[in-house]
Amino acid sequence: MTTTVLSPLERMRSAREASRSVGLLTDAAKVDLLRGIADAIEADVPRIVAANAEDLARGESNGLTPGLIDRLRLDEPRVRALAAAVREVAVLPDPVGRVLDDRTLENGIRLQKVSVPFGVVGSIYEARPNVTVDITALALRSGNAVVLRGGSAAQSSNAALVAVMRGALSAAGVDPEAIQTVDDFGRDGANALMRARGLVDVLVPRGSAQLIETVVTESTVPVIETGAGVVHIVLDASAPLEWATDIVVNAKVQRPSVCNSVETVLVHRDAAQRVVAPIVATLQERGVTVHGDDETRRLAGGVVPAVEADWSTEHMSLDVSFRIVDDLDEALAHIRTYSTQHTESIITADESAAERFLAEVDSAVVMVNTSTRFTDGGEFGFGAEVGISTQKLHARGPMGLAELTTTKWLARGAGQIRP
């Protein structure tokens, strides 16, 4: 099943029309629909992998970084994991129809505040074909239609995935126009999506800091900002070496190309002598290039001199920056200066330091004694995620189903008039 309308505007109008029927689907119907999408994805694994191979070949010839190539790749296990993620979303509680407030006024009118779908959710993202499936599944489960702009790097993969999912909607008797893509219009499609106020209710960008800034500044559609991940781990004076080593290595090495991998490690001066050298050595054994200030370089060998730009860089690669700080005050000041307000973690045995860190750090997710890699919708129990919101309006942190709904008030009276 492919899209049939010709222009971005027509596609978004079709999504708007389809959103009305999707918003009225019962919980059971949405569950069945997502299970059908998961089955269709698994049935078409060879087609999806072949399409992705085209993108990978084109990306390598165009010089995409290893981190972007990793995000772009869809082998058979990853495609099956996409289907599994859709099934996980299918069994999550329906976010639509929740009664958030219920009261009866003195005049007898009953008021209820209930959760309802946005209507049409748009997303602009880069080289991430998994987002095509994740956002579509979340949008449909929350009763929304979706319009996607996935970028030229993943165009073949996204086209195959959209076709498979639209086919599953058609087979289920649901209007396939509820899933739209404007990829084939390139930048014109992205521009049309950003200016589709009245047709698209909310727009979620995912990708580089430059892409997000462009969408935030140029869109007339309301935007939920997902930020770049200049993520910090603080090793406090009391940080246990084993915890510190395991957590820093996991946060950098487990998947360096994602937004919740650590970029800067701040080490309390009282811990530096005992933790810097072994942690740096372990990172280097795993292929990590460590960028360090002068004190870090005195404590460990093979460290590249850090420059000012390192503190504000989201490497998305096997690179990490180390800095020695005098105390927790200096660590907090560094985070306030350079953080993108995504995720920060402290490793400490001092409960007062932990509680102060939790209270004072102003990021979407703040952690104690755990890897920043856990900032993820799936790990938080949301199933897939729309993105990690770093803004403060409506949604913050990993965005799941509830964040794709809004509210309306229902008033039930018996002939009352206002005096």
Q: How far apart are CA 136 and CA 97, in angstroms?
A: 20
- Gyration radius of the chain's alpha carbons: 23
The answer to whether residues 312 and 279 touch, using CB atoms and an 8 Å cutoff, is no
In the structure encoding, which two tokens stand for residue 123, read together? Answer: 């997303």
DSSP string, 195-214: T-BTTBSEEEEES-HHHHHH
- Residue from 219, 153, 149, 223 nearest 190 by CA: 149
Give me 320's structure tokens.
């990490």
Tens of pLDDT, residue by residue, the chain (419 residues): 444 557 999 999 999 999 999 999 999 999 999 999 999 999 999 999 999 999 999 999 999 888 789 889 999 999 999 999 999 999 999 999 999 999 999 999 999 999 999 999 999 998 889 999 999 999 999 999 999 999 899 999 999 999 999 999 999 999 999 999 999 999 999 999 999 999 999 999 887 778 888 999 999 999 987 777 899 999 999 999 999 999 999 999 999 988 899 999 999 999 999 999 999 999 999 999 999 999 999 999 999 999 999 999 998 899 999 999 999 999 999 999 999 999 999 999 999 999 999 999 999 899 999 999 999 877 887 766 777 887 777 778 777 788 889 999 999 999 999 99
| Distance separating alpha carbons of residues 230 and 233, to the nearest angstrom | 10
Q: What is the pLDDT of residue 378?
A: 76
Q: How far is CA 61 from the centre of its chain?
A: 27
Q: How confident is the model at residue 391, as a pLDDT? A: 75
Q: Are the C-beta atoms of residues 4 and 157 closer than 8 Å to each other?
A: no
Q: What is the pTM of this model?
A: 0.79
Answer positive or negative: Cα dihedral of 25, 31, 34, 35: negative
Q: Where are the beta strands (DSSP E) in 207-318?
A: 231-235, 262-268, 289-292, 304-305
**Per-residue model confidence (pLDDT) at position 401:** 86
What local confidence, expressed as pLDDT, does residue 389 receive?
Answer: 80
Cα–Cα distance for residue pair 367/375, rounded to 1 Å: 9
Give the Cα separation of 264 and 322 in Å (integer).
Answer: 6
317-365 confidence digits (pLDDT tens): 999 999 999 999 999 999 999 999 999 999 999 999 999 999 999 998 9
In this prediction, residue 224 carries a pLDDT of 85
77 is written with which tokens? Answer: 């296990």
